[in-house]
Amino acid sequence: MRVTTLVVFLLAGTLTLASRLPAQAELRVSELAVHLNTHEVTVHAVLLDAVPAEFLEGLHSGLPTHLRIVIELFRYNRFRPDSRVNRAILERTLTYNVVTKEYKVSLGPSDARSPVTTREFRDAERILSDIQGVKLTPATSLDLAETYYVRVNAETALNGDDSWMARMAGLAARASRQSDYRTLTTSPR
């Protein structure tokens, strides 16, 4: 009797979790621009919905929001798997101080900027989601005849928990975007 009761409770819990719709968190990578000039490969992008509405209650109660951005430069190979040339990882954290009612955006070690404090959520989200001038590799190390592309993967999670259970409950989101294929050409002098 106890075993069947336990099985019924486990089945009911599983059905409850499975029937719950995924959260409305729609993390998107927008305005991806890759600049291949004579000096270096630079990436600019903007993340939309970096802090979904489902995160706001937890954020305002003191839980930090973590954002991890992985930018990868790939060499296109026609008959083999594409090879990764270089990778940059950006990690950012958004926290809310309940006492001073200020948002603080802490940027990781790969960002050159210092932490930013603001009272407006919109400003904090803009700073958190703006990817400016990420330098991947010097252009001199790339072959001019090869074709390259950039892939941007972004993950956001409340309190750093990015498990499938957190994504199902709406406490985490993922997004991916790939740039167009580009061929390096020498610029006219």
What's the number of domains the chain is made of? 1
Residue 154 lies in a domain: yes
Residue 46 lies in a domain: yes
Residue 30 lies in a domain: yes
What residue numbers bound the domain in which 129 lies? Answer: 24-183
Residue 109 lies in a domain: yes
Beta pairing class for 83-97 and 28-36: unpaired
Residue 4 lies in a domain: no
Please report where in the chains the tokens 């499975």 appear, as a residue: 18
Residue 1 lies in a domain: no
The answer to whether residues 49 and 58 touch, using CB atoms and an 8 Å cutoff, is no
| pTM of this structure | 0.74
- Of 43-47, 79-83, 97-101, 169-173, the range with the lowest mean pLDDT is 169-173
Q: Please, which pLDDT band fits residue 96 given cuts at 50, 70 and 90?
A: very high
pLDDT digits (tens, 9 = 90+) for 122-140: 999 999 888 888 888 888 8
The DSSP bridge partners found for residue 117 are 104
Please report where in the chains the tokens 């072959």 appear, as a residue: 143
Reading the block at residue 27, the tokens are 């993390």
Beta pairing class for 147-158 and 130-138: unpaired
Residue 2 lies in a domain: no
